[in-house]
Structure 1
C-alpha cells in the first residue's frame, strides 16, 4: 500500500487531533491569564498585547514557509521538530521572569507552530485516503479547530485561578512530550515529490514586512505622526510590495499571486484578515473589561466569553446547510452586518453594566455573524484553485487569520491607549471622595474599550460591501468535497 500509516491511521488521528487542539487553544489560553501575567511581570498597557501579537505574527508570517518545509523536508521530521520546539518555547514562557522573555517565548511558539500545524494537517491528508474515512477524520479535525478557542478560554481561566498564569504555557510541555513519543513510534515519514526549491527570498521579505507593519502600528500609541511610527509602517508596506514583485518572478513561489488576486478569492482572504482582527485583537479587550472593570474571576471571565464561540457554532452549521442552496454571496454579505451590530452594542457598556442584559446579547450577535461568514469564506478561498496550489490557498486562510489578529491587536491597542489618555486629559482627577479616583480609572478603561469596539465594528462591516459588489461566485462554483475548517 502506498500509505505506510494506514494500519495505524486512527492512532495517527488521535495524535494529530491533540496537536491541533494544543495549537488552537494557545491562541486564546493566555487571554484570560494576561491581567495576572501583566501584574506579575510589570508589563505596561501598551506592551501587554505583545503576548498575543508575538504568537499570532510569527505563526501567520511563517505558516506558508512552514508548509513548504514540511512537504519538502519531511512531515514526520517537521512534526517532531515543531512539537519539540513548541514545548521548549512553552517552558521558557512559563518560567519567564521578565516581560521580554515571555514575548520571546510566545514568538518561539508561533515559529514552531508554523512548522507543526501544516505538518500535522499534511500527515492527516496522506494518511486518510479513503473518502468516507477521510470525511470522518477531517470532521474530527474541523470540530477541534472550531472549538479549540473555547477550550483555551476555559482552560486558561481554570489554570490561572487555581494554579498560576504560568501553567497556561507549562501545560503544553507534558502534552508535547507524549505527542513526540507517540509520533516517533507511530508516524512514518512522507515527502512531496516534484519541485522542492525553497522561496527563501519571499519568506524573508514577507516576514520582515509584516513584522515592521505590526511594530509600526504598535508604536502608534505614541502618535500616528511620529517618525518611528511612519518609518516602520512605510518600511513594512514597501517590503510587502517588493514581496509581491519577487513572487511574480519566483519559479516556485511561496505564495502564487494568482491564488490571492482573484475576484472571488481576494475578498475571502480580505474577510479572513478582518475576522482575525476581531477574534484575536478586539475580543482580547473583553478579557480586560471582564477582569479589570467588572472584577470577574479568571474562570468566570472565560465562561463569559463563550457566547461568541457558541454563536459561531450555531450559524456555522446553518451556513454549511445553506451554502449549497443559495451560494456564498448572500451569507457572506449578511454575517458581517450582524457581527457589526453586536460590536456596536458593546459600545454601550459602562463601569456597572449588567452582563446579562447588555454584554451577553452583543456577544451572541458577534458570534452568530462570524459563523455565517467563516464557513462560506473558506469555501470561496478554494474556488478555481489548481491542485498544485490548494495547499497554499488553505494555508493562506489560516495565515490571514493570524496576521489579522496580530495587526488587530496592535491597531486596537493604539486606539485603546489614545482614547484612554484623551479621557484622562479631559476629565480632571477628583479631590474627593477617596473612591472617585478608582471610578475615574475604570471610566477611562471603558472609554478605551468603546473606541476599540467602534473601530472593530467598522472593520467587520466593510466586508459586506466588498463581498456584495465584488464576489460573483455561485453555488455551482464551490469546490467539491469536504471543507477543512482552519481556525488556528
Structure 2
C-alpha cells in the first residue's frame, strides 16, 4: 500500500530533497549563536567607549551614537524583519540577517572616523533587526510548549554569555590588539553561523502570505520618531522643537499604524494580542527593564575606567560578576518557569535589579574598593537573569505558534526602544550633575544616573504583578493551539 506524505514545511526551490528537518538541538544552537552575536556586540562596544573617545576624538554625543545608531535601527526595523521572515522564509531571512550583521561588523572595523563607525553600527542594526526575532521563532517551532521555557532559558544563557564575555573580551582586545578587533571577531563567527544555518535549518513561512506594506512604513517611521527624540535630547534638550516634534510625529504615526492594523484584512500585528495579559504584561516588563539595563551598562563601563581608573581589561574583569549572571541563572530560571510560571520570576527579577542598582548608587564614591561593589553587581545581575528567559517565554507562549516571530519582533522592538530611552535618560542625568573632567566629577554624575536606573524597574514590576498565573498561562497556550 502506498501512502502520501503531506509536507507541511515546504522546501525552497532547488533545495536538495535529502535534507532532513532540522533537529531541535541544531536549531537551538544556531538560534543561540545568532543572539550571541547581537548581545556580544552591544557590550563589547560599551567597553571600548573610553578608547573610542580618545582615538577617534569622539564627543559624548558620538559615544552615545555608537550604541544608539545600532539600537535605533534595531528598534525601527524589528517588526519589519519578523514580517519579512514570515513572508519570504524564516531560514532565508535569518541567513540574510546574519550576513548583513557580519558586513556591518567589517565596515565598523574599517572605520577611521566616528561618523563612519556610527554608519557601520547602523548597518549592524539592520542585520540584527532581521535575525534577532527569528531566533525565538526558530526555537518556538522546534520545541513543544512544555519544554520551550528550558530551551528559551538556554537561549537566554547564551545571550548572557555574550553579555558576560563582552567586557572581558573587549578589554583583552582593546588592551592587547586594537579596538578594531572588537568588530573583526564577529566576521568568522557570522560566516560560520550563516553557512550552517543555510545547510541545517529547514525553511518555514508565517500564516500571512501578503506583506502589510502600509503597516511596515507606518510602524518603521513611528519608531524612528520615538527613538530619534531621546537620542537627540542630550544634545539639543528635551524641550527643543526637534525633540518635541519627533515625539509628536512618532505618536501620531503610531496611532495611524494602530488604526490601519485594526481595519486591514492582513495586519502585520493583530491588535487582539494586546488584549492578552501575558503578551501585554511581558512587553511592559521588558520595556522598563531594558531602560534600566542598557542605561546602567552605558554608565558602568565608563565608571570602572574613568571614575575608578582601571584599564579596559581590568574593567571588563570587574564587570564580569554582573554580566555573567545571565549565563549562570537564565537556564535555571527558564526551566523552573515551565513548572511554576513566568510571573514570580519576572517580579523577583525586577525587584532585585532595582535593589542592586540602588545599593550600587549608595556605595560608589571616589576610590571605592571593588569588594564594596561585588554584592550590588551580583544582586542586579541575578535580577536581570530571572527576566531574560521568562519574558521571552511569556511573549511567544501567549500567541499562536505561527505568530511567534511577530510576537518576538514586537518584544524586541519595545526592548530596543527602552534601551535608547535608557541611554538618553541616564546620559542626560549624568551630564546635569557631573562630567568627564576628573574621577570625582564623573562619580558626581554617575550616582544620580544610577539612582534613576534603580527606580525604573519598579514601573516594570507593576506589569509583572498583573501577569497571568501559571494556570492561566497553561490555559492560554491550550487556546493558542486550537
TM-score of the superposed pair, with normalisation by structure 2: 0.85
Match of 1:230 in 2: 244
Map Cα deviations across residues 261-294 of structure 1 (whole Å, 9 max, x no partner). 4344322211101122222222221001111121
CA distance in 1 between counterparts of 2:277 and 2:21 reads 43
* Structure 1 residue 333 corresponds to structure 2 residue 347: yes
Match of 2:480 in 1: none
How much has 1:140 moved relative to structure 2? 5.0
How much has 1:480 moved relative to structure 2? 8.5
Match of 1:27 in 2: 42
* Structure 1 residue 250 corresponds to structure 2 residue 264: yes
Structure-2 change in CA distance of 1:329 and 1:180 (3 Å): closer
Match of 1:288 in 2: 302
Structure-2 change in CA distance of 1:407 and 1:481 (3 Å): same
* Structure 1 residue 144 corresponds to structure 2 residue 139: no
Secondary structure of 1:28's match? helix
Structure 1 counterpart of 2:59, from 44, 53, 63: 44
Secondary structure of 1:96's match? coil
Match of 1:373 in 2: 387
Map Cα deviations across residues 221-247 of structure 1 (whole Å, 9 max, x no partner). 243222222222222222222222222
* Structure 1 residue 198 corresponds to structure 2 residue 211: yes
Instruction: Check conservation: 1:259, 1:389, Cα contact below 8 A.
Output: no
* Structure 1 residue 102 corresponds to structure 2 residue 110: no
Structure-2 change in CA distance of 1:481 and 1:306 (3 Å): farther
CA distance in 2 between counterparts of 1:346 and 1:134 reads 34
Match of 1:424 in 2: none
How much has 1:388 moved relative to structure 2? 4.0
* Structure 1 residue 56 corresponds to structure 2 residue 53: no
How much has 1:17 moved relative to structure 2? 4.2
* Structure 1 residue 467 corresponds to structure 2 residue 464: yes
Q: For structure 1, which runs of at least 5 residues remain unmatched after alignment?
A: 422-437, 483-488
CA distance in 2 between counterparts of 1:134 and 1:367 reads 23
Structure-2 change in CA distance of 1:18 and 1:375 (3 Å): closer
Aligned 1:262-341 pairs, distance under 5 A: 262-313=276-327, 315-316=329-330, 319-320=333-334, 323=337, 327-341=341-355
Structure-2 change in CA distance of 1:332 and 1:35 (3 Å): same
Match of 2:356 in 1: 342
CA distance in 1 between counterparts of 2:336 and 2:346 reads 11
CA distance in 2 between counterparts of 1:124 and 1:379 reads 10
Secondary structure of 2:48's match? helix
How many residues are paired up? Answer: 460
Instruction: Check conservation: 2:47, 2:171, Cα contact below 8 A.
Output: yes
Secondary structure of 1:446's match? helix
How much has 1:366 moved relative to structure 2? 0.9
TM-score of the superposed pair, with normalisation by structure 1: 0.84
Structure-2 change in CA distance of 1:269 and 1:123 (3 Å): closer
CA distance in 1 between counterparts of 2:351 and 2:240 reads 34
Structure-2 change in CA distance of 1:85 and 1:240 (3 Å): same
CA distance in 2 between counterparts of 1:194 and 1:90 reads 33
Q: For structure 2, which runs of at least 5 residues remain unmatched after alignment?
A: 10-17, 478-482
Structure-2 change in CA distance of 1:292 and 1:474 (3 Å): same
Which moves more between the two structures, 279-288 or 81-90?
81-90
CA distance in 1 between counterparts of 2:136 and 2:393 reads 17
How much has 1:105 moved relative to structure 2? 0.8
How much has 1:171 moved relative to structure 2? 1.5
How much has 1:415 moved relative to structure 2? 2.0
Match of 2:80 in 1: 65
How much has 1:51 moved relative to structure 2? 1.1
CA distance in 1 between counterparts of 2:356 and 2:147 reads 39
Match of 2:12 in 1: none
Aligned 1:113-262 pairs, distance under 5 A: 113-119=128-134, 122=137, 128=142, 141-184=155-198, 186-187=199-200, 190-192=203-205, 194-221=207-234, 222-262=236-276
